[in-house]
Amino acid sequence: MTKLNIKIAMTFVVIAMMYASMSAFAIEEEGPKQLWDECLTKMSPKCTLDIVEEIFWNGIVSDACCRELVLEGKLCHDTLIKYMADRPSFIVREPEYLAKKDALWTRCASVKA
């Protein structure tokens, strides 16, 4: 039960971090900010969280969420994960996260519709 509570708390932390960083992202560059806004609206919140959990922790993305990810597009996936991996709390393990991002994309791209 404690493990589940920690996972739920971490999920909320990631969501809060994503939304808090959106305003900073908007100030830095308008082009990527627009891409960020467009990408976040293409996927369900559950699938977005599943993807974040798989890349930054040890979650699993379902085939249904893989299909949403592929519909989102590789540019959106790459941009959002790279942006998150660049945050101070994740930067130390950025190469690992980027490798997991690529592995997830490859697996999801092979899932049949």
Type of residue numbered 23: S
Per-residue pLDDT tens over the stretch 10-29: 554 455 445 544 444 444 55
Q: Where are the domains of the chain?
A: 2-109
Q: How far apart are CA 41 and CA 54, in angstroms?
A: 20
Higher pLDDT, 65 or 26: 65
Instruction: Work out the mean pLDDT of the chain and round it to a whole number.
Output: 77
The per-residue pLDDT for 80 is: 83
Mean pLDDT along residues 79-104:
89
Phi, psi of 41 (to 5 degrees): -90, -10
Helix, strand, coil % (nearest 5) of the chain? 80, 0, 20
Higher pLDDT, 90 or 29: 90
- Number of other CB atoms surrounding residue 11 within 10 Å: 16
Q: Are 92 and 53 in contact (CB under 8 A)?
A: no
The per-residue pLDDT for 103 is: 95
